[in-house]
Amino acid sequence: MQSWIPFIPESASTESSRVDALYFYLSGVTAFFTLLIAGVIIFFVIRYRRRTPHEIPRPIAGSHALETLWSVIPFVIAMSIFVWGAGLYFHQSRPPQNAIEVYVVAKQWMWKIQHATGQREINELHVPMGQKVKLIMTSEDVIHDFFVPAFRIKNDVVPGKYTTLWFEATKPGTYHLFCAEYCGMNHSQMIGSIIVMDQTGFNDWLSGNANQQTAAGAGQGLYQTLGCASCHGNTGEGGRGPALLGVYNNKVQLSTGQTVQADEAYLRESILNPQAKLASGFGPIMPTFQGVVTEEQVVQLLAFIKSLSSQPAGAGGAPGAQGSPKLPVREPTR
């Protein structure tokens, strides 16, 4: 849209033109005040230059009216920027429910990407145009940052927790992916591409890469081999451990009497550090899986647990091992 304006990066998401609009407003305000101050100073410096070495100008005490004026006007302008910026930020930090979910695991110095449908990529992310995409990100080592200038989005990728980003691409093309948080020797080579394709192209790409297990399918395999099933039940119906059916994004009563939302962060913590927040009615018998499973495997387990939630109760099992090219658009959880 603003491609005729120099020094503005490509604009390829629904977010980018909104951020640019605020940027232009800020640039205008900055230019106005900088020129105002510079103009006033230059005018005064010339107009009131010293004409004789002896002149002593009359002192001027100051003016409460002026002080008020030049406190209030900047404050009002600052508040307009604050409200505008905070509104966009709030919107941007709330991923929509119907987004395609993609898992991102960062490590020195690469981006490992796993689609819910099973496709895996390194340093590349293929996404369809016109669909909302939500990234669920974590790091295996240090803090990284997922930065796509063309989408005007960025968020740190932090070890030990999940952070999210979402976007809706508006223009096919290949865009920069940068790591924006300094992460060591090859920080500047921890780069990649976001490839935005139209729907047909994306479907072709999906089916061309379909001979892989879905994330949930891989998670189901882990669920069995790690022995989760012996306590949580073959189909997640529960046993000595709490039931996993329908647990995702629902409330869990803790042994302390508190209630938590079973989001990705809670489920991850319960795998890696089960004693931290025990579900009410269950003993502290689950071993920790810290160091046993990688971040990518945790992500697969989560995908499996989520798939339990989105299936009608009793259907059991996970989606078939063969990823279907159908898009995994999840129903909003109620």
Partner 1 sequence: MEEFKVPPPSKINYLNAEYGLKSWLLTRDHKRIALLYLGSISFFFMLGGVYAMLIRLELLTPHGQIMTSTTYNKVFTQHGIIMVFFFLIPSIPATLGNFLVPMMIGAKDLAFPRINLLSWYIYMLGGIVTIYALLAGGVDTGWTFYVPFSTTFSNSYVVATGLGIFISGFSSILTGLNFIVTIHTMRAPGMTWFRLPLFIWSHYATSLVMILGTPVIAITILLLAFERLAHVGIFDPAAGGDPILFQHLFWFYSHPAVYIMVLPGMGVVSELIANFSRKNVFGYSFVAFSSLAIAIFGFLVWGHHLFVSSQSVYAGMIFSFLSFAVAIPSAVKVFNWSATLYKGSISYETPMLYGLGFIGLFTIGGMTGLFLAALAVDVHVSDTYFVIAHFHYIMVGGTLLAYLGGLHYWWPKITGRMYPEGWGRFSALVVFIGFNLTFLPQFLLGYMGMPRRYHYYPEEFQVLHVLSTAGASILGVGLLIPAIYLLWSMRYGPIAPANPWHLPGLEWRTQSPPPTENFEETPIVTWEAYEFAPLDDVEVVGKFGERKAEV
The residues in 54-73 that bind partner 1, with binding defined as CB under 8 A, are 54-63, 66-67, 70-71
Q: Verify binding: residue 227, partner 1, rule CB under 8 A.
A: no
The residues in 129-158 that bind partner 1, with binding defined as CB under 8 A, are 141-143, 145, 147, 149-150, 152-156, 158
Distance (Å, rounded) from C-alpha 290 to C-alpha 23? 44
Distance (Å, rounded) from C-alpha 166 to C-alpha 197? 17
Query: Which of 123, 273, 310, 324 is the binder for partner 1 (CB under 8 A)?
Result: 273
Distance (Å, rounded) from C-alpha 147 to C-alpha 133? 15
Question: What is the smallest separation between the CB atom of 86 and partner 1, expressed in angstroms?
Answer: 5
- Rank residues 32 and 204 by Cβ distance to partner 1 and give the closer one: 32
The residues in 103-132 that bind partner 1, with binding defined as CB under 8 A, are 108
| CA separation, residue 31 to residues 37, 63, 117, 213 (Å) | 10, 26, 49, 55
DSSP 162-199: -EEEEEEB-S-EEEEEEE-S--STTGGG-EEEEEEE-H
Q: Verify binding: residue 74, partner 1, rule CB under 8 A.
A: yes
| CA separation, residue 150 to residues 18, 127, 256, 333 (Å) | 12, 14, 46, 31
**Which of 113, 120, 152, 117 is CA-nearest to residue 136?**
113
Residue type, 121: E
The residues in 17-46 that bind partner 1, with binding defined as CB under 8 A, are 18-19, 22-23, 26, 29-30, 33-34, 37-38, 40-41, 44-45
**Quick one: CA torsion of 278, 282, 283, 287, rounded to 10 degrees?**
-60
**How many chain residues bind partner 1 (CB under 8 A)?**
87
The residues in 280-309 that bind partner 1, with binding defined as CB under 8 A, are 290
Question: What is the smallest separation between the CB atom of 54 and partner 1, expressed in angstroms?
Answer: 6
Distance (Å, rounded) from C-alpha 169 to C-alpha 175? 11
Q: What are phi and psi of 4, to 5 degrees?
A: -80, -10
Q: Verify binding: residue 92, partner 1, rule CB under 8 A.
A: yes
The residues facing 154 across adjacent strands are 147
- Rank residues 190 and 245 by Cβ distance to partner 1 and give the closer one: 190
Question: What is the smallest separation between the CB atom of 324 and partner 1, expressed in angstroms?
Answer: 33
Angle between helices 14-47 and 64-92 (to 10 degrees): 160
- Rank residues 49 and 326 by Cβ distance to partner 1 and give the closer one: 49
Site string for partner 1, 163-192 (x = CB under 8 A): x------------x-xxxxxxxxxxxx---
- Rank residues 13 and 220 by Cβ distance to partner 1 and give the closer one: 13
Question: What is the smallest separation between the CB atom of 288 and partner 1, expressed in angstroms?
Answer: 10
Q: Verify binding: residue 310, partner 1, rule CB under 8 A.
A: no
Among the residue ranges 88-96, 97-105, 116-124, 201-209, the one whose residues contact partner 1 (CB under 8 A): 88-96
